[in-house]
Structure 1
Amino acid sequence: MSQPVSTTGFPTTAVTVAALDPAAVDAPAAAHYGDPLREQRLLATEVGIVDRSHHEVLAVPGEERLSWLHNLTTQHLLELPRGVATETLVLSPHGHVEQHATLLDDAATSWLVTEPGAAAGLLDFLTKMQFLTRVEPREASAEQALLSLLGPAAEQALAGLGVAVPGPPEFTPVPGPKFATGAVPARPTGRYDAQEFPGGGWVWRDRLGLQLLVPRGQLPEVVGALRGAGVAACGIWAYEALRAAARVPRIGLDTDHRTLPMEIDLVAPAVHLEKGCYRGQETVARVHHLGRPPRRLVLLHLDGVTTDELPASGTPVVAGERGVGFVGTAARHYELGPIALAVVRRNVADDAVLRVGDAAAAIDPTVAPGRS
């Protein structure tokens, strides 16, 4: 017997994040559909679709949009080709990360996908920087919705929609300290091939899988077609556990007000180290050329905690009696068990004895996926 579905095409049997943690940033999303560990396995070994439509979207039309965004953010956006997505940051004057967005330009409008609750702050910043520039930034979350299609069979599922499969992500190698002029090509450092949906919408492949940005009115059609082809609906808990294991940070969950891009491995996908001046650029250049950012992003294995006891974002990481960092995203992984992303002091050794609340914690010393 088929499950009843909502107006978006997803089953109505979801356990929402709001029912479990009303204050969570992902509160509007489905936490799971009955078995979060099984849903993780599907995303990792088969295929699943995740509703991430609570993420917010800005639209920036106008003939000067790319040069304007190029000057305001960390990414090289001049002449960004149609059908290429990238990532970019807005920094504070001291180089700390304030905003993150995935940006795709369709030759008429730049679409910026950002965190839940972040669009208002980003729009306020962009509006203040508008001056006489021919751009018209606006809130567009009611127009576009984000879905994620993950798993080895995702390409086959996408092909069933009549959409071409995007190529793999490409990243410009991050040069070492004191690099020579011209070492970084004049193009986005992180490039995600994007393909257009018939009738509107785009799909690109990022570090985690296929990301679909579709008009909200098309959600039932897109989700229904995928579900009809046997693609399982999976909750945000499953997605977040795989994201944490891959050490891909989220701004606001895995950062604090002092976070620098190089501390959380966002230089390769989101920061062009040789472009013109932007807010915070001096700090980025200084820290990169020194080669020693004060902190680093790590994956922790937690010992002796249950799903109900997972530490909240911001929980201190302690070595002996000394605080050495803080936890960001915590999750129960279907293979690794309880894990958490954390930002810790750079001098904390990989074999350090750590605690997070009452739980013992150990740094995973393996190299993060996609990092040399």
Structure 2
Amino acid sequence: MGSPLLTTTGAVEAGAPDAGVALHYGDPVREQRALARGDGLVDLSHLGVVTIAGADRITWLNTLSSQLLLDLAPGVSSEVLLLDVHGHIEHAPAVQDDGETLWLITEAASAEPLAAFLDSMRFTLRVEVARREDVAVLGTHAGGWSRLTDHEAHLLTWQDPWPRVGAGSTSYGPEEAEHPGIEFHRAFSLVRREALTAVVAAAQQDGARLAGVWAWEALRIEARRPRVAREVDERTIPHELDWLRTAVHLDKGCYRGQETVARVVNLGKPPRRLVFLHLDGSDHLLPEAGAEVTLGERTVGKLTSVARHEELGPIGLALIKRNVDPEAELSVSGIAAAQEVVVRPDGVTDVRPAERPGAGLRRRTI
């Protein structure tokens, strides 16, 4: 079912994975500028919301996920990865506790399988899992969420930690101060769905304007921020997307997929790496997400996200083979693409042991 905000004058509905909300409202350039300065409000009511209630909720999610949550205080924003046994990413929900309930924000297509997985892992613990279709998500940037907090229908606001490296984590990309996303300050605000239009109307009276997911995605891509619905396939491990920096604690206890996370950090290298692409815009064409990325005649990866940025022009994210020369000019659907490194080609982090574990041991002579 589509959002009621699609009846807004000029609204054009987005396609998957954002079907049900507006791609834009007739002026995507001005919408993006408004969003970047903190005046834009994005309808993300198609996203999924799952809650976990009960006395064991935090310790329980801590045992299942990649993040250390034991000291998670009410109102603090975090994110977790839920991996399969081979370390592949299955879910990456935003997480915040309100003192009584854990709130998880996830992709539209992920809400049902996420809730089903969590429900299957309850056993005898004091937790209750629920999908919250009565709650809608609104997106803002640059502190725009402050317009929403005084409304009686506002429940909480999650502030994105990207790209800051969390305690106990590491990164495969630029240092925080040099990261292109360091000024990326987006937020998800949860409101009661029945009051969605009223909340938006109140924000508009306070100077906000609606912006579509075109603008939202352009700023995400600019910040090199990975997204499950775009950058993740059945083989993706967190290292390939530099997702350890905000969602993985390397010193916490055992969880599903931890062996792969530790092995790649300490001994291996990610087989692929995320890159930012500047696409040639001279023909005014955008390739489709999912298109092959080629180097000469050789396919080296795929385009995962693409948008037209109001300053940078056509931009994208792509997942390519790690050993591709970072200086090489690539091509996407016949369109020239220049790389910027997101995940370093050497595939090594600053926490990797200088010497392979066990390398100093010698076989005992009998």
TM-score grouping bracket, smaller chain normalisation: 0.7 to 0.9
Residue 27 of structure 1 is matched in structure 2 by 19
The corresponding residue for 2:140 is 149
Deviation (angstroms), 1:111: 0.9
Read off the aligned partner of 1:136 and give its amino acid letter.
Answer: E
Counterpart CA distance in 1 for 2:6 and 2:13 is 16
- Contact 1:208–1:243 (CA<8 Å) still a contact in 2? no
Contact 1:10 1:223 in 2 (8 A): no
Give the CA deviation at 1:149: 1.8
Equivalent of 1:220 in 192, 197, 205 = 197
SS of residue in 2 equivalent to 1:54: coil
Equivalents in 1 of 2:45, 2:157: separation in Å?
Answer: 21
2:297 paired with 1:321: yes
Q: CA deviation at 1:210?
A: 2.9
Q: How does 1:1-372 map to 2 (within 5 A)?
A: 11-17=8-14, 21=15, 24-45=16-37, 47-140=39-132, 142-151=133-142, 154=144, 157=147, 169=161, 171-172=165-166, 207-290=184-267, 292-304=269-281, 309-365=285-341
* One-letter amino acid of the counterpart of residue 346, structure 1: R
**CA distance 1:244–1:112, shift in 2 (3 Å):** same
Residue identity opposite 1:320 in structure 2: G
Distance 2:330 2:139 in 1: 34
Per-residue CA distance 1:47-98 (angstroms, 9 max, x = gap): 2111111100111111111111111111111131111121001101000101
Contact 2:264 2:270 in 1 (8 A): yes
Q: Is the 8 A contact 1:255 1:343 kept in 2?
A: no
Q: Distance in 1 between matches of 2:275 and 2:151?
A: 38
By how many angstroms is 1:255 displaced? 1.8
Partner of residue 181, structure 1: none
SS at structure 2 position matched to 1:252: helix
Q: CA deviation at 1:157?
A: 4.0
Number of equivalent positions: 330
AA at the equivalent of 2:237: L
| TM superposition shift of 1:161 | 5.9
Query: What displacement does 1:297 show?
Result: 1.2
Do the aligned residues in 2 keep the contact of 1:11 with 1:233 (CA within 8 Å)?
A: no
The 3 A distance-change label for structure 1 pair 326 and 165 is: closer
Contact 1:306 1:338 (8 Å CA) reproduced: no
Aligned to 1:201: none
Preserved CA contact (<8 Å) 1:327 1:343: yes
Amino acid at match of 2:272: R
1:266-314 Cα offsets, whole Å, 9 max, x none, are: 112111111111110000000011363222111101114766x422332
**Deviation of 1:158 (Å):** 5.4
CA 259–131 in structure 1, closer or farther in 2 if over 3 Å, else same: same
* Partner SS for 1:137: strand
| Structure 1 unmatched ranges of 5 or more | 1-5, 178-205
What TM-score does the superposition give when structure 1 sets the normalisation length?
A: 0.80
Give the match for residue 199 of structure 1. none
SS at match of 2:80: strand
Q: Is the 8 A contact 1:95 1:281 kept in 2?
A: yes
What's the TM-score once normalised by structure 2's chain length?
Answer: 0.81
Shift of 1:7: 5.3
266 and 367 in structure 1: CA distance in 2 versus 1, 3 angstrom threshold: closer
The equivalent of 1:200 in structure 2 is none
The one-letter amino acid paired with 1:172 is: G
1:145 aligned counterpart, secondary structure: strand
Q: Is the 8 A contact 1:96 1:257 kept in 2?
A: yes
Give me the whole-angstrom Cα distance separating, in 2, the residues matched to 1:156 and 1:138. 28
1:334 deviates by 0.7
- Structure 1 counterpart SS, 2:109: coil
Unaligned runs of 5+ in 2: 172-182, 345-349, 351-366
Mapped to 2, the partners of 1:237 and 1:345 lie a distance apart of 28
Secondary structure (helix, strand or coil) at the match of 1:351 reads: coil
Q: Which is worse superposed, 279-288 or 349-358? A: 349-358
How much does 1:129 deviate? 1.2
Counterpart secondary structure, 1:331: strand
